[in-house]
Structure 1
């Protein structure tokens, strides 16, 4: 299944799409797709009994009321190489606040006084059941609700040149477009075999594969569960491949008016216009 929410910001309505490719209204089953209702929807939906939605409008975030966004830094070998960093021995973990999350095609705002706003196409994992001190990666796999696309927008000066933790460069408003939908785990045969791509103004900047991850999806879920409790609806941004502005000398950072487009095999596509805060 694909799960999504469409409509104006703050008033989105839940949708489901089955193998026939038809979007259907989920409101007869749940009022919205939230951390509380996600497990119910994942347990099964009688698609034929739901009203057809012929032309969905704007897509919002696939899940409303996300609890936390857990991010993994330097998780692609080629990205670590382009930034001159050593491969980490354990996952590098940081958090984004849930209010950074916006719809997949919503405007992304360059912060005031920013000169180094960057892009990062990432595979996003949405948790479907509580993950707490998991025993192994098999147990972790059972906790995946599905997969989506995330743009882990980052301000590199704030992140790396202003002291303290990375959080200052990661938590600016609109810095986590997510969507356009959640593809349930059963529809993704191998999360470690997905191509990821990102364009700026039509120019291909990132072209990688989740095969290049240092720590795979199931390992990350297992690992994180040893340090925090992951709840349904939580999101894990699993890292970005090479091609970010930070890693390419002379490659420009984002500017007002730029168009950023992202896609991951089988998970859809995003398109954002860059504005100014």
Structure 2
């Protein structure tokens, strides 16, 4: 087969290192990036919405929106164009390792290969404009580098992350703090529902939602966040 130009390289995220040196060489190939909206009650309220348990809704980012940040390093997030209001949204990310459709909730976590720390960066002013005009959120959510991500931690090492603190600081000042147990739709429920809309495949990433405290960041500011058991993610806005 010949291509008219070279295909884009596969987006692949390293597996978190362990005592097994082989894991340091392994990569998780990213297929699709799904995000669930307003999945913490307090965040739904701060965005002006009723946090009642309505069916979850989703949006997507392209795979090449992933900006990998290695542990112990500080990633660089380029401030995007056509906006004056970029917001941070700290999230627990589930990495799918087994295909499925119409997955039962009680079996949903069997499809998770591992977990990662992620940031859903958002051009909030463009999102507000899109909402007002009844348009899609693509330009607000799916821009270049809009998904900073740490390494994938396999379930075989960290277990399933169903509770534990989730937090984010900007320049050392706390902005977001909650507990993963406060998700309106748990990771299992989110995956099960998402699988009724799309066939999930190995390589899919599911951003599970952000807690309250989202806010704007400016060039030069340092975002540091984490989830208990998964370390920290550090990203500077440039």
Distance 1:129 1:176 in 2: 22
2:125 to 157, 160, 177: 157
Residue 82 of structure 1: aligned partner: 46
Change (3 A) 1:126 1:210: same
Alpha-carbon distance, 1:81 to partner: 1.4
1:49-88 alignment, distance < 5 Å: 63-64=28-29, 66-87=30-51, 88=53
Distance 1:110 1:196 in 2: 24
Residue 130 of structure 1: aligned partner: 99
Residue 24 of structure 1: aligned partner: 21
SS of the aligned residue for 2:21 comes to strand
Is the contact made by 2:38 and 2:209 (CA closer than 8 Å) also made in structure 1?
A: yes
Structure 1's unaligned 5+ residue stretches are: 1-8, 34-62, 246-252
Question: Residue 170 in 1 paired to residue 167 in 2?
Answer: no
Residue 241 of structure 1: aligned partner: 211
SS of the aligned residue for 1:197 comes to strand
Is the contact made by 2:114 and 2:153 (CA closer than 8 Å) also made in structure 1?
A: yes
Question: Residue 227 in 1 paired to residue 224 in 2?
Answer: no
- Higher CA-based Rg: 1
1:262 to 222, 225, 228: 225
Alpha-carbon distance, 1:187 to partner: 3.8
Distance 2:232 2:13 in 1: 20
Residue 148 of structure 1: aligned partner: 116
Distance 2:13 2:59 in 1: 31
Is the contact made by 1:15 and 1:24 (CA closer than 8 Å) also made in structure 2?
A: no
Change (3 A) 1:194 1:216: same
Residue 108 of structure 1: aligned partner: 77
Distance 1:236 1:184 in 2: 15
TM-score, normalised with respect to structure 1: 0.74
Aligned length: 222
Distance 1:94 1:204 in 2: 27
Change (3 A) 1:23 1:202: farther
Change (3 A) 1:139 1:116: same
Is the contact made by 1:76 and 1:241 (CA closer than 8 Å) also made in structure 2?
A: yes
Change (3 A) 1:16 1:256: closer
Change (3 A) 1:107 1:14: closer
1:209-220 alignment, distance < 5 Å: 209-220=179-190
Distance 1:85 1:186 in 2: 37
Residue 170 of structure 2: aligned partner: 200
Alpha-carbon distance, 1:192 to partner: 2.4
SS of the aligned residue for 2:144 comes to coil
Distance 1:95 1:118 in 2: 17
Structure 2's unaligned 5+ residue stretches are: 1-8
Alpha-carbon distance, 1:16 to partner: 5.9
SS of the aligned residue for 2:101 comes to coil
Alpha-carbon distance, 1:17 to partner: 3.8
Change (3 A) 1:71 1:32: same
